[in-house]
Homo-oligomer: A and B are copies of this chain.
């Protein structure tokens, strides 16, 4: 059974067709890189798969749930890292993650290990999120996703703002998730990094998918930095 199955899906933001007809089938344990120019619709596609947007037309099934009807069920089983971090500024790092854990019915102990996993230093655990640096904040948000061990990971530019160590952690996280059988969709402009990770490269332009390359080879390929674009 495919994890994501979109057929001619159209999604409107206001009146703008941010997705203008997407066909996409993703199977379990795939790591799909979404690439494409700014404004192509990558973020919209991720938010759509997370069950946050309603399809205007077309059919869309994620994790076996139809997005026209049972979006809440989808939301419970995906993990989304967006451009914004969806954290409460006034709560500390730990409090934020504990809230997430409780709300998602996960044992509280997972919080500590998720923070360790993302390399959030102990000094920061009791700092209010509003005071973190951009990169620290994104690490915490990533820890929030990792915490939930979702079946489907939706990562919107997970490397952005992270330092070298952070980038490696993300790569490790994605690799582990795929190894555990989870499916990962990564939107990214940092192709040199993500190409190594991805088993498949999907190009989004103008709200549709223009190329879709299953790239078994690239796993071994060295990061040449180029090809694509320019």
Contact = CB atoms under 8 A, between A and B. Distances in A.
B230 A135 contact: no
Contacts of A212: none
A14, A131, A229, most chain B CB atoms within 10 A? A229
Q: A interface, by DSSP: helix, strand, loop or mixed?
A: loop
Contact of A36 (B36, B132, B163, B189): B163
Contact of A133 (B38, B133, B163, B226): B38
Interface string A2-40: 000000000001101000000000000000000011111
Nearest to A42: B133
**How many chain copies?**
2
Contact of A230 (B132, B192, B230): B230
A161 B160 contact: yes
Interface residues of A, number: 37
Interface string A140-159: 00000000000000000100
Given A160-B160, A165-B37, A230-B168, A131 B225 contact: no
A134 interface: yes
A71 interface: no
A164 B131 contact: no
A225 B166 contact: no
B165 A43 contact: no
Contacts of A37: 135, 163-165
A190 interface: yes
The 4 closest A-B pairs by CB, nearest first: A38-B135, A230-B230, A164-B229, A39-B133
Given A38-B136, A157-B160, A165-B229, 10 more contacts: A13-B131, A37-B163, A38-B135, A43-B133, A43-B134, A157-B161, A163-B229, A164-B230, A192-B192, A192-B225
